[in-house]
Structure 1
Amino acid sequence: MPDYMETPQGRRIAYHRTPGQGPGVVFLGGFKSDMTGTKALYLQDWAEAQGRAFLRFDYSGHGQSSGDFLDGAIGDWAADAIAAIAALTEGPQVLVGSSMGGWIALLVARALPARVAGLVGIAAAPDFTEDSMWAQFTDAQRAELAQGQVALPSDYADSPYVITRRLIDDGRQQLVLRSPLSLPFPVRLLQGTADVDVPPAVALRLLDHATGPDLRLTLVKDADHRFSTPDCLALIAASIAEVLARAEGTGQAG
C-alpha cells in the first residue's frame, strides 16, 4: 500500500519512498502511466540494492492519487512533482524522467535548481502537447478541441486518449524548448531508434537546445518507447550510477 501526502494545492498524492543514502533518485513517470510500471519497480529494486534513497509517486489523476486525469495538465503534474520532492526527499536528487516525465524533470530543475544533482531522461518528451499533439491535429480536430476536448486513438489502450483544451493551453505555459535551458549538472538522455511516440529527433533537439557542462545522448538501436527490455533497464541503471558518480565527484551533491 502506498503512503499519501497532500500538496499545497490540496491534491492527494500516492507515493512509495525507499530510505537510503543521498543523493536520492526520483522516478517521474509518463503521460497516463503510474508508479507501478516496469521501470519504476526495477529502479526501486536497484536503489534498494545500492542502499540509495528512492522515490516514486503518482501524479494527480494518475494511479492511486486523487483527481480525474482529464482535469489535469502539465503544470499540475509538475507542481505535484515539486511538492513531492520538497516534502519527501532531502538534499539534491537525481531526476529520472520517462517520456512526459522527462518534461516534468526539466520543469522541476527550473523550479528547484538547488535540489537537482543530475538528470536521466528516458525517451524524454519536452513540449509534446505543442509539438506532437497540437502540431499534428487536423483542422477538424482543432475545431473539436476548441469545444473542450478531442479523442485520439491509442496504441497502448483499448479506449482512445482524450485530449482536453486545458492540457494544450496549459502546456503552452510550460514549454522548455523555446527559451534558454540551462542544465548545470550531469545529464544522460536515453533514446530508442524505433520509438514512434517520441522519435529520436526530439532527443536530438533537446540535446542541441540545452546548455550544460555534461550532456550526453545515447541512442539504442531498435529500442521502442517502452524502453523496458533487460538491456534497456540495465542501461538506465548504469546511467543513473554514472550521474551519481559524477555529481558526487564534483561536489554538486554536497
Structure 2
Amino acid sequence: MLITEQSSLYNDLEKKSVREILEDINREDQKVALAVQQTIPQIEKLVNQIVPRMKQGGRIFYLGAGTSGRLGVLDASEIPPTFGMPPSWVIGLIAGGDSALRNPVEGAEDDTDQGWKKLTEHHINDKDIVIGIAASGTTPYVIGALREARKNGILTGCITSNPDSPMAAESDVAIEMIVGPEYVTGSSRMKSGTGQKMILNMISTSVMIQLGRVKGNKMVNMQLSNHKLVERGTRMIMEELGLNHEEAQELLLLHGSVKKAIGAYRIR
C-alpha cells in the first residue's frame, strides 16, 4: 500500500477534544520539515539544472491535480509580485484547468494526454523545465506529461510523498518527501501539501536568488502593487542610499523598482 494511503496513526478522531486534535496535527506537522530536509540534495540537483536553462530563456512549468496542482499555481502566481518576473517565466498548470482551482473536475487527473497537450499550447521546448507534483506519485495527468517531456529532451522533476513511484520513474530528478500517513487517512492536503509548499518555496526562491532577483536579503525587484510594498521599497532605498523618506519614495515611484531606483541614483 502507498504510504500516502496508509491508515492514520490516530484513531477515534471524532471522540477527541479540539485541543487534542490540534496538538495531534501539530505533532504530525513537525515531521514535515525533517522529511523535507532529507530531500535537500535532490532539490539542489534540480535547482542547479534549472538556473542555466532559465538564463537561456527557459521556463518552469508546474503540473499537478487537486491540492498539488493548486500549490503549483500558487507558487507560480507569486513570482511576478515578489521578484518582478514576467508571469510567463514560471507557469502552474492544474488538471481540469483554472476552474479546478476552486472546484474538483471529475476525471481530469486521469487523462494521460491532457498535461502534455497543455504544455504544447505553451510551445514548450528543451530549454524549459517540467516539475510534476503529486503526493501519490501515480497521477496519470502528471505522468503522461513528464513522459512526453522527457522524450522531447526536456528536464523533468517531481515532488511526491511515496518512494519509487511511476511519476519518479519519468523524472530526471525525483524529490521524494516521505512524511508518513496523514492525520486523516489519505488526506494528502495535510502533511504532503505542507511539504510540497515548502519545497516549492525552496525551488523558486533559490532559483530567483541565483538569477539576481534579490540583493542582500531584499526583494529589490518586487512589484509596487500596493501601499505596503511602496513603503517597503522606500525603506530599502532609504537604508541603501541614506535618503529621507520623501526623496526615496519619489525615486522609487519614478523608476518603478528598488533595483532600478538605486542603479539610476548611483550613475547620476
TM tier, smaller: 0.3 to 0.5
TM-score by length of 2: 0.39
Between 1 and 2, higher relative CO (CA 8 Å, sep ≥ 6) is seen in 2
Greater strand share, structure number: 1
TM-score by length of 1: 0.41
Greater helix share, structure number: 2
Instruction: Name which one, 1 or 2, has greater alpha-carbon Rg.
Output: 2
